[in-house]
Amino acid sequence: MSEDGLFEVEAAESAAPPASAGPDPDRPVTRGVVEDRPAPTSGVAAPLAVRMRPASLDEVVGQQHLLAPGAPLRRLVEGAAPASVLLHGPPGTGKTTLARLISQATGRAFEALSALNAGVKEVRGVIEVARRRLAAAEPRRTVLFIDEIHRFSRTQQDALLAAVEDRVVLLVGATTENPSFSVVAPLLSRSLVLGLHALDDDAVGTLLDRAVADPRGLGGAVTLDPEARAHLVRLAAGDGRRSLTALEAAADAVGGTGEITLADVERVVDEVAVRYDRAGDQHYDVISAFIKSIRGSDPDAALHYLARMIVAGEDPRFIARRLVVHASEDIGLADPTALPAAVAAAQAVALIGLPEARINLAQVTIHLATAPKSNAVITAIDEAMADVRRGAAGPVPPHLRDGHYAGAQAQGNAVGYVYPHDDRAGVVAQQYPPDELVGRDYYRPGGRGDERDRATRLARLREVVRGTQG
């Protein structure tokens, strides 16, 4: 079963027609094809995810940015403005479902190929069947769904061009990759390119609730306690199919009736639920322990709390933001590379997301935990702001004021200012703060890391600037 479409059905097992027989326009091509057939009524029942495939646009969850009134995808599904389309997005977000809905809405035949096991021969076979349908006494058009289209070679993609151009088939391609990098330009130019988003928690929860109650699903034979439901939502990670597969396994574990508890779900998915409420005490307690472990230079404890947050589904952007703050608050100039490292990790989280970004978060966590520590930066700015708030904000010394306007010098502005670059050392004796703050030290470097050397340099700089050197 492919991972790219929502609620895929298994590949057909029946054999291709004999070589001597011509293509049958009323028969779906089965070689490398997923047949559009109903769930079996006898023998092994179809998987829950297949039975719960949305039968109409109203049952589709998520993707509201594509399904709003007048949006291209909605118009396509409703049978207007026929056009080929490339759907890209994470697994389990509805790509196959939407392809089938397009076929149903337009009354077209539905053919499905998987790029994992179909080649040019299969592509041309489907196109020939589509041509025969168009030439039949009662013409009928064809929707050709190609799963994992990014895995097709250039030659295989080129084989589609004429049929797409002439609208022999309405192509719906599904891919988890960016089509701009994985689909040939001529095919891109002939298709709408639409991005699907991972399902949010509300959308996954809707799928679960519907599957529990709907006669196509579990028909109300089981109930799902709140903790079990929350765990299934988290396990889904935006993949609707994954949530229904886990629900079905949990329902089987309780014999198909009764209440599904958190313990039932943990038993069948082999992953223990982390006690963590993103809106409750655990959220604040764990992030507090995380930051304090970094501040205390214990990378192992910090990694433990990082892992708890990631496994529990904490927003990785929240973790990254806290690391950026910590880099200046507790390390600062003791290690000037700490802040760039934290910012880089935050950018990586935004660019690639989880699960890969866990590596970036772990790297910067270890970096910050093992870095020399200093709170001199936050102490300096907080003391400076406290002075301003108590009114210690005297006039700017006249020689520092703006002199770039007519009449400035007549008012004494910028008169007597000494340009430091004119001095060989680049530092001159000159008053910079307001009169009442002369001699006030805000930044007091610590004795660790880069601040150790910075403290020595700063002492010399203050002597020169304040004219107190011996």
- The strand pairing partners of 404, in sequence order, are none
Q: Does domain 397-466 have CATH number 1.10.3710?
A: yes
CA–CA distance, 310 with 316 (Å, rounded to integer): 7
Residue 48: Cβ-neighbour burial (10 angstroms; 0-12, 13-18, 19+): buried
Top-confidence residue, 189 or 106: 189
User: β-pairing, 169-175 with 258-260?
Assistant: unpaired
Residue 71: CB atoms within 10 Å: 15
Name the residue among 86, 102, 97, 36 with its Cα closest to residue 62: 97
Give CA 299 to chain center in angstroms. 26
Structure confidence at residue 81 as a pLDDT band (50, 70, 90): low
Q: At what angle do helices 316-326 and 357-370 cross, to 10 degrees?
A: 20
Which part of the chain has CATH 1.10.3710?
A: 397-466
Share of the chain above pLDDT 70, in %: 86
Could you give phi then psi for residue 396, rounded to 5 degrees? Answer: -65, 130
Quick: pLDDT tens for 434-470. 888 888 999 999 888 888 888 988 888 888 888 887 5
- What's the pLDDT at 271? 54
CA–CA distance, 252 with 247 (Å, rounded to integer): 9
Which part of the chain has CATH 3.40.50.300?
A: 48-195
> What is the average pLDDT across 136-142?
87
Which part of the chain has CATH 1.20.272.10?
A: 281-370
> Does residue 123 contact residue 156 with C-beta atoms inside 8 Å?
yes
Q: Which fold has domain 48-195?
A: Rossmann fold (3.40.50)
Which residue type does 18 have? P
Residue 108: CB atoms within 10 Å: 20
Long-range CB pairs of 351-355 (<8 Å, 24+ gap) are 353/316, 354/237, 354/310, 354/316
- 193's enclosing H/E stretch is strand 191-195
Quick: pLDDT tens for 26-50. 444 433 333 333 433 333 478 998 8
> Does residue 89 contact residue 195 with C-beta atoms inside 8 Å?
yes
In degrees, rounded to 5, the angle at the alpha carbon of residue 236 between the alpha carbons of residues 148 and 324 is: 100
Quick: pLDDT tens for 292-303. 999 999 999 999
| The pTM of the whole model exceeds 0.75 | no
Name the residue among 101, 119, 95 with its Cα closest to residue 176: 95
Given a cut of 70, whether residue 8 has pLDDT beyond it is no
> What is the average pLDDT across 85-104?
85
- What's the pLDDT at 327? 96
Domain 201-269, CATH class in plain words: mainly alpha
Which part of the chain has CATH 1.10.8.60?
A: 201-269
> Does residue 164 contact residue 187 with C-beta atoms inside 8 Å?
yes
- The strand pairing partners of 206, in sequence order, are none
Name the residue among 97, 93, 73 with its Cα closest to residue 8: 97
* CATH architecture assignment, domain 281-370: Up-down Bundle (1.20)
Quick: pLDDT tens for 218-251. 999 999 999 889 888 888 878 888 889 889 988 9
Only one residue has tokens 């995810």, namely 49
Which residue type does 184 have? V
> Does residue 4 contact residue 176 with C-beta atoms inside 8 Å?
yes
Q: Which residues contact 374 (CB under 8 A, 6 or more apart)?
A: 330, 331, 332, 333, 334, 445, 446, 448, 449, 451
Q: What is the DSSP string of 28-83?
A: ---TTB----PPPSSSSPPPHHHHTS-SSGGG--S-HHHHSTT-HHHHHHTT-S--
Which residue type does 26 have? D
